[in-house]
Amino acid sequence: MKISPFKLGLVLVIVGIVWTAFIFDETEKRYDSIILKQSNSFEVKSEFFGIDIGYYKLYMPEFEGEEIFVQILDNKENVIAEQMVKTKLSVGYFDFNENGEYTLKITNIAKNQIDIETEFGNTNSQKMLPSGIMVLVGALVMMIMSYMKIKNYKIEQPEENIS
């Protein structure tokens, strides 16, 4: 039984995507939910190790155009990232390069209270490199095989001087 290179590329892409999803799913994350009153702040702390990329996800189920201010603080209370969030769902990323406890600080700058669900953690992007390469190789194999298949394909055109 012979497997075509296109199908092999498709299998590589699928396995790479599943592998990446599994790595991301096994990361340590902190989930919290709170109702923030006007001008109040809320903090979520998490321990990070090594050099990698961290992330936070904010979800406001009853979003009505409110704004919140988000800061990421390192273990020395230095601001390493900040953002104004004006959407129902927001995801942000930040680089960290030393071990320690990092803080996600959320401040309500809207005039009314806001219900917020947060997720804060490490992406483990360093562990995703092999699976990412697998997806890239599979996609390249699929594109090359698709090109080889259609490069000699010709469509018959009617003659212009048909009477």
Give the containing element (helix H, strand E) for 36.
strand 29-36
- C-beta of residue 110 within 8 angstroms of C-beta of residue 68: yes
pLDDT at residue 17 in the model: 96
> For 29-123, CATH number?
2.60.120.380
Q: Is the predicted pLDDT of residue 143 greater than 60, yes or no?
A: yes
90 Cα distance to chain centroid: 11
User: pTM, whole model, 2 decimals?
Assistant: 0.76
Of 16-20, 108-112, 142-146, the range with the lowest mean pLDDT is 108-112
pLDDT at residue 31 in the model: 92
Residue 97 to residue 153: CA distance in whole angstroms: 52
**Please, which pLDDT band fits residue 21 given cuts at 50, 70 and 90?**
very high
pLDDT in tens, 48-97: 988 899 999 999 998 888 889 999 999 888 999 999 999 999 999 999 98
Rounded to an integer, the average pLDDT of 140-162 is 80
**Please, which pLDDT band fits residue 162 given cuts at 50, 70 and 90?**
low
pLDDT at residue 62 in the model: 86
Q: What is the CA radius of gyration of the chain?
A: 24
Cβ of 141: how many Cβ atoms within 10 Å?
19
